[in-house]
Amino acid sequence: MVSILTRIFGLCNLEIIEDAVQDTFAKATVQWRDKVPENPEAWFTLASKNRVIDLLRKIDADKNRLQKLSYGPSAISLNNFFEKEEIEDSELRMIFTACHPKLNAKDQIAFALKTIGGFSANEISAALLLKPETVKKRLSRARKTIEIKKIDFKFPDKKELTGRLHNVLEVIYLIFNEGFHSNHQKLLVRKELCGEALRLTKLILTKKELRCGASYALFGLLCFHSSRLASKEGENFESIDLKNQDRTKWYFPLIHLGNEALLKANSFPDYSTYHIEAAIAAEHLKAKSFNETNWQKILEHYQELQQVEPNVMISLALAVVLLQLNKNQDALEILEQLQAENFEQRTYLFYGVMATYFKNIGACEKAVNYLGIAIEKVPNEIEKNYLMKKRDAFMA
């Protein structure tokens, strides 16, 4: 809805459009209680468009433009924007516009997560390991840049595609991560975000000029992770770690689709971090049981990933793999180089890994203490319960 209305009313009115769509959905929750309209999409189309016009009138918008939208050719063709092909075109325009090179590189990802993923400032800060105040500043700066530099809502030229595609894929990746490992207080998994990331990647792949090794590798990676969604939660929505997941619940059609995507990815000359991460995910899927996991191969992939794109989350994952291989001293050397505060809202992950290290070397009291810190820091209630059970097991 936001993408389509932005195409009609212009990027300069994005905040008004977002408010209008939100108002329309709020209105629907009231008006649809007794009866849902025969054509819900048409209802939203008309109601959202009218709400934007109302808001623009309130701020003394251009009356001539409004008149044309209400009664002229633009009003007649408005419904055309909601045809399948036009919706896809509008969404691609939005995600590529959000990653416009005139926007500060740091602002692009935050702005794209807001406009494409509908993320709150807290969700963006968790995804990017930033303070919420920093995120708010970036969003504000992006909107000012759009206004000052008069950035257009359009698809980039071919020569700009490759550079901008990198950020677009990163945004989709982050949307999926928030779904797969949610920072939400009461939800462990947000399947709608995982599905949205898969849908957007498929949308990218419908355009020949956007097909490359990275885009296919990302699609393969998301398919692999999505295949395990049903096994991540128990009947009472409790968290189930990889070791205890029921592998018969893994969805093999998605695994097959992921394998096909990786074959296509390898037929292109470019090589990305998504290739490496997909290879790691594939190793987990190959193992018939947790104990049969090829941790040495996974270690090699993470070491490569750390060389290509080093960051604190990869370092932490590397430490986890080393602990699985009982290379405790090597894991400690990595952990000692990390600062807990650099993980922002995900600091509990750092303390959880520290607890595993001390459990491995037989220092159970220290392990329990670190789990206690992790429990204090974790924002998600389901993961908090998981960590509390883990602490009880350490104390037994």
pLDDT tens for each residue of 303-317: 999 999 999 999 999
Mean per-residue pLDDT, 13-35: 89
Mean per-residue pLDDT, 135-143: 91
**By percentage, how much of the chain surpasses pLDDT 70?**
92
CA 349, CA 317: separation in Å to the nearest integer? 10
CA 377, CA 306: separation in Å to the nearest integer? 26
Closest of 255, 251, 232 to residue 242, by C-alpha: 232
For residue 389 the two structure tokens come to 């059970």
- Asked if residue 254 has pLDDT above 90, the reply is yes
Q: In order of start, what are the domains of the chain with their CATH numbers?
A: 1-82 (no CATH), 310-396 (1.25.40.10)
Per-residue pLDDT, 340: 92
- Asked if residue 240 has pLDDT above 60, the reply is yes
- Quickly state the pLDDT bin for 274 (edges 50, 70, 90): very high
Closest of 269, 115, 281 to residue 124, by C-alpha: 115
- Asked if residue 78 has pLDDT above 70, the reply is no
Q: How far apart are the first and last CA of the chain?
A: 53
- Quickly state the pLDDT bin for 74 (edges 50, 70, 90): very low
Is the model more confident about 62 or about 76? Answer: 62
- Quickly state the pLDDT bin for 393 (edges 50, 70, 90): confident
Helix (H) or strand (E) holding 64: helix 63-71
CB 205 within 8 A of CB 187: no
Helix (H) or strand (E) holding 243: none
- Asked if residue 335 has pLDDT above 90, the reply is yes
Per-residue pLDDT, 72: 43
- Asked if residue 284 has pLDDT above 70, the reply is yes
CA 233, CA 235: separation in Å to the nearest integer? 7
- Quickly state the pLDDT bin for 179 (edges 50, 70, 90): confident
CB 146 within 8 A of CB 11: yes
- Quickly state the pLDDT bin for 192 (edges 50, 70, 90): confident
- Asked if residue 299 has pLDDT above 80, the reply is yes
Is the model more confident about 324 or about 126? Answer: 324
Per-residue pLDDT, 13: 83
Mean per-residue pLDDT, 161-167: 84
Per-residue pLDDT, 130: 83
For residue 175 the two structure tokens come to 């949307």
Per-residue pLDDT, 18: 87
CB 176 within 8 A of CB 222: yes
Closest of 113, 108, 143 to residue 126, by C-alpha: 113
**By percentage, how much of the chain surpasses pLDDT 90?**
47
CB 217 within 8 A of CB 173: no
CA 130, CA 256: separation in Å to the nearest integer? 36
CA 138, CA 104: separation in Å to the nearest integer? 9
Closest of 238, 2, 284 to residue 119, by C-alpha: 2
CA atoms within 13 A of residue 65's CA, in its CB half-sphere: 11
Per-residue pLDDT, 269: 95
Is the model more confident about 392 or about 183? Answer: 392
- Asked if residue 75 has pLDDT above 50, the reply is no
- Asked if residue 160 has pLDDT above 60, the reply is yes
Per-residue pLDDT, 118: 80
Closest of 36, 50, 158, 160 to residue 99, by C-alpha: 160
CB 258 within 8 A of CB 224: yes
- Asked if residue 132 has pLDDT above 90, the reply is no
CA 294, CA 325: separation in Å to the nearest integer? 10
**Cβ neighbourhood burial of 115 (10 Å; 0-12, 13-18, 19+):** buried
Closest of 171, 147, 19 to residue 95, by C-alpha: 171
- Asked if residue 324 has pLDDT above 70, the reply is yes
CB 49 within 8 A of CB 8: yes
Per-residue pLDDT, 84: 66
Is the model more confident about 339 or about 162? Answer: 339
Compute the mean pLDDT over every residue in the chain, rounded to the nearest whole number.
87
- Asked if residue 349 has pLDDT above 90, the reply is yes
